Structures are given as C-alpha cells and as structure tokens.
Amino acid sequence: MKADVGSMTWRTGDDIGVSEYMLLTVEEGKRLIDCLEQEHELSIAEMAALIDANCPELRDYARIKARAIGDRQYGKNIYIRGLIEFTNYCKNDCYYCGIRCSNTKADRYRLSKEDIMACCREGKKLGFRTFVLQGGEDPYYTDDHIVDLIRQIRTDYPDCAITLSIGERERESYERFWKAGADRYLLRHETAAESHYQKLHPHNSSLKHRKQCLWNLKEIGYQTGCGFMVGSPGQTPEHLAEDFQFIRELQPEMVGIGPFIPHSDTPFAKEAQGSMELTLYLLSLLRIQQPDLLLPATTALTTIHPRGRELGIEAGANVVMPNLSPVGVRDKYALYDGKVCTGDEAAECRNCLERRVESVGYRIVVSRGDHCDVKLMES
C-alpha cells in the first residue's frame, strides 16, 4: 500500500540492490501517520522512513493521536500485573541478556511453590488480579511442575488471570498449561528480521521456531504478547518496520517493548543503550497501528528515565507490571544493568505507582484487565 505523499518515489532494496529509505519532511511524516491511523498498515519502506524520521514534532503528533485512540479503547484505565520472577536459570545464551547461561557471575535462584504462592497472596492484598510467572528457560520446572503451579493459583485465586512468560516450549506443553487454567502468554519475538535475530542470538536459536511458538499460542486461545527491544545492537529502521509487519500479521493482544540496556557481563557490555525517545515514538505508532493493544510501559523504560512509566503512558501505554518477587531475589533477576525497583517493598512500589499514574491523569484499576475482545465475549 502506498501513501499519498506527493511526488516522492519510494526506493526499496528491490530496485537499488541495497535498502534505502526516503528522508521525510515533517509534513510527509504526518501524512504517513494519518495513513497508518486510517489503514492500520504501511509498507515496509514507508514504515522504515517514518521511523527514521523520528523527531520531536512527529513524536508529539503521534503521541496525541495515540493517546486519543487509547482513551477511546480503554478509557483512563491503567491495568496492573504482578510480576513474579521465579527463576533466573536459563538454558539460552542470548548475547544481550544478563541471565544467559554463559554468565557465570549471575547469582542463580529458584523460587519454591510456597514462595510463589506467598507472592500471590501479597499481590492479591495489594490489588493485583493478574499474576505473571516469568522466568528464564529453566528445564528444572517441568511441564508437570508448571501445571501444578497453575492449578494451585487457579484454585486459590479464581478471579485472577494467570500469565506465563517462560519461553519456548512444545505446543503440547502450551496446550497443557492452557487446560490447567493459564490465560495469557508473553513471548517477545525480539526481532522479526532473520539476519538481525542471528546477530542477537547464538546459532542454536531459531526465529522461525520462536514465531511458530507465537502462532501456536494464538491458535490455542491465549491472549498472546510478543515484543522487541528498541535499539538492540545492529537494529535499523527497516528491522523495526519488519517488527510492525509481523505484529500486523500476528495480531497479538499485547506487545512489550523497551529500550535495550547493556549488561556488563554479556558480549554486548560495550554497546550503546536504546533511546527513550525512539521507544516512546514506537509505543505511539504501535497504538495507532493496532488500537486495541495492551501495551505495557516497561521496567526497562523506567530504568533509563525516572519518569519512564509516566511518559510511556502519555505515549499510548496502558499497562504497568511492577515486581512482586520477594525482595531478597529481585536484584538477581538482572537482565540488564541498573534495573529499578529491586529494593522496594512491594507495597511501597504499588503506592508509588498509583501516584505516578494519577500524575498524568490516569487511574490504576483493580481488575483482571483482559484484552477488550475477551470482555466482549464474556458479557
């Protein structure tokens, strides 16, 4: 699909051998944003040009549109999820990640079932109605283990949603977790571009398999979340345009994005951090492309800017996921350096969040915070 951007011609990899995108004027950028709002679709070349044109005027233009669209869809509600990081063992070796298996300096931990249930108990008291079980890919937690955990949470907290974020597993495993009562699954695709995926991961990791996992999750019926880092090493506007295209195809219920932040004990220790401004711009463009998305203002965004959560909400986000893990292990789940909220009491974090969200005119709601289509089905 081509936008009507006057006399400009789009040159893509096909006709000149190497990829190149048009430099846009602000007016041309605005017209592409209008087009994204109307059609929910831009070509890869158009999206890459729009992303490359990131500047204060276009960010403002996108942010104002995104916020109006978000308010129409979800009102002033901000949904909260209690994040329980239950293991930092991981069999994978992603070059960017602090808990990769080659990092011998990581201080490894696993939470017991009792620890996890204590987190849920605390979380329920604080008003959380979604628990996110997140961990590295840790074979210690077999499918039986995970099913047992889901059943226990389902029994003790029938009014709460259960979200899993435990990486790539077989379709049969996802089906078992679903039958046991899990509602949602988060699995960031990390980058939709094959060459870029290879730069970020060792050879035994496969983008094709990761994408297949996401399709399986969708098919089974999970509210599914994908996502990517912003400014990961080697990322170009074209890679990001491919992420937008993949998201348009998958139509996930959630998309998690946050800036890449280097971790000192990884191969990417010396790489530059992702930009907050670009992350905010992309949050707005995601909201415009897919208005019904559940979009978190991520911890990584808060880590690189003290008002990251608020700015994320103003850019179009409508979910926050504070940490519910026991205080003693929080600093050990270190995917990147400088992670915030690792020392706080969970309750402190919750109150602080309430104030922050209200400071920008929104309110935290005590509800499961399902995707809008799920609510329609129930009512």
Which H or E run includes 114?
helix 113-125
Given 258, 291, 296, 316, the residue binding ligand 5AD (CB under 6 A)? 258
Given 63, 67, 188, 211, the residue binding ligand 5AD (CB under 6 A)? 188
Q: Is 88 helix (H, G, I), strand (E, B) or coil?
A: coil
Given 84, 282, 319, 335, the residue binding ligand 5AD (CB under 6 A)? 335
The option from ligand FES, ligand 5AD, none interacting with 300 (CB < 5 to 8 A, set by class) reads ligand 5AD
Given 30, 63, 100, 239, the residue binding ligand FES (CB under 6 A)? 100
Name the segment binding ligand FES (CB under 6 A); options: 18-26, 72-80, 96-104, 217-225.
96-104
Given 131, 177, 222, 336, the residue binding ligand 5AD (CB under 6 A)? 336
DSSP 17-60: SS---PPPPHHHHHHHHHHHHHHS---HHHHHHHHHT--HHHHH
CA distance 132 to 259: 21
The option from ligand FES, ligand 5AD, none interacting with 309 (CB < 5 to 8 A, set by class) reads none
Contacts with ligand 5AD: how many residues (CB under 6 A)? 12
Contact 102, 153 (CB under 8 A): no
Name the segment binding ligand 5AD (CB under 6 A); options: 38-46, 152-160, 243-251, 256-264.
256-264
CB of 333 to ligand FES, least distance (A): 10
CA distance 242 to 102: 30
How distant, in Å, are the alpha carbons of 28, 149, 317, 359 from that of 310?
29, 33, 9, 8
CA distance 244 to 257: 12
Q: Does 309 bind ligand FES (CB under 6 A)?
A: no
Q: Residue type at 177?
A: F
Contact 82, 118 (CB under 8 A): no
DSSP 174-232: HHHHHHHT--EEE---B-S-HHHHHHHS-TT--HHHHHHHHHHHHHHT-EEEEEEEES-
DSSP 257-281: EEE----TTSTTTTSPPPPHHHHHH
Q: Is 368 helix (H, G, I), strand (E, B) or coil?
A: coil
**Of residues 121-140, those binding ligand FES (CB under 6 A):** 136
CB of 106 to ligand 5AD, least distance (A): 12
Q: Does 99 bind ligand FES (CB under 6 A)?
A: yes
Name the segment binding ligand FES (CB under 6 A); options: 51-59, 92-100, 224-232, 297-305.
92-100
Contact 39, 1 (CB under 8 A): yes
Name the segment binding ligand 5AD (CB under 6 A); options: 5-13, 101-109, 255-263, 356-364.
255-263
Q: Does 296 bind ligand 5AD (CB under 6 A)?
A: no
Tokens standing for residue 328: 């003693």
Given 90, 160, 293, 364, the residue binding ligand FES (CB under 6 A)? 90
**Of residues 57-86, those binding ligand 5AD (CB under 6 A):** none
Q: Does 206 bind ligand FES (CB under 6 A)?
A: no
The option from ligand FES, ligand 5AD, none interacting with 336 (CB < 5 to 8 A, set by class) reads ligand 5AD
**Of residues 135-164, those binding ligand FES (CB under 6 A):** 136
Catalog residues that contact ligand FES under the rule CB under 6 A: 90, 92, 94, 97, 99-100, 136
Catalog residues that contact ligand 5AD under the rule CB under 6 A: 96-97, 188, 190, 229, 258, 260-261, 263, 300, 335-336
